Amino acid sequence: MILAGMAETLYGARISYWSYLTIHFPVLGLLKAGVLVVLILKMFPDGDPQRQPVVSADLPGMSPAERRLTMVLGLCLALWLTDTLHHISPGWIALAAGLYCLWPGSGLTSKKCINEEVNYASLFFVAGILGLGTVLSSTGLGEVVVENLSGLAGFQADRPFWNVAMLTGISTLVAMITNLPACPRS
């Protein structure tokens, strides 16, 4: 979400959740799940476990807070999947859901959670990364580093493997020096 928001803010490149899902789900979802099932069955073959019959215990239903959280997450997923229809960025949807969950009136958090339970270190880290990405993009540091390293890399048309290796190395180095949001422009 953070990378998508930075790409949209810095470069105007809008990444829709639906297009990401349609491109990556066949490989990262279905194919990966199939490969995992085959590998697990091959690497850990065993019969069905013998279990003792369990006396059915009446499990309590979901609490009202759990039902509200389930509805929020379901609504988020529905809005993410239909972002090509309504054009609301997934980052804004996630932010709205997070604010609702932190709102004391929602009943999902305690009234003192902001003062006592929130880990501010992670919030400051994300804010720092976003600010650093903007500063580095505005100053052009990533572009300067890439230009200097490209001159040293020795790109040649007849050495495609070398070119790919050097380009990968340069992009990794630029991402380490700057950060990932500042890297695409480089």
Q: What are the structure tokens assigned to 32, written together? A: 């990966």
Cβ neighbours, 10 Å, residue 23: 10
Query: How do residues 15-68 score in pLDDT, each as one tens digit?
Result: 777 877 888 888 888 999 999 999 999 998 877 777 777 776 677 888 999 999
Residue 180 has pLDDT above 60, yes or no: no
Question: Which helix or strand (DSSP H or E) is residue 161 part of?
Answer: helix 160-177
Mean pLDDT to the nearest integer, 65-86: 92
Q: Where are the domains of the chain?
A: 1-12+65-118, 119-186
For residue 144, the tally of other CB atoms under 10 A from its CB is 11
Q: Of 142, 134, 139, which is closest to residue 185 (Cα–Cα)?
A: 142
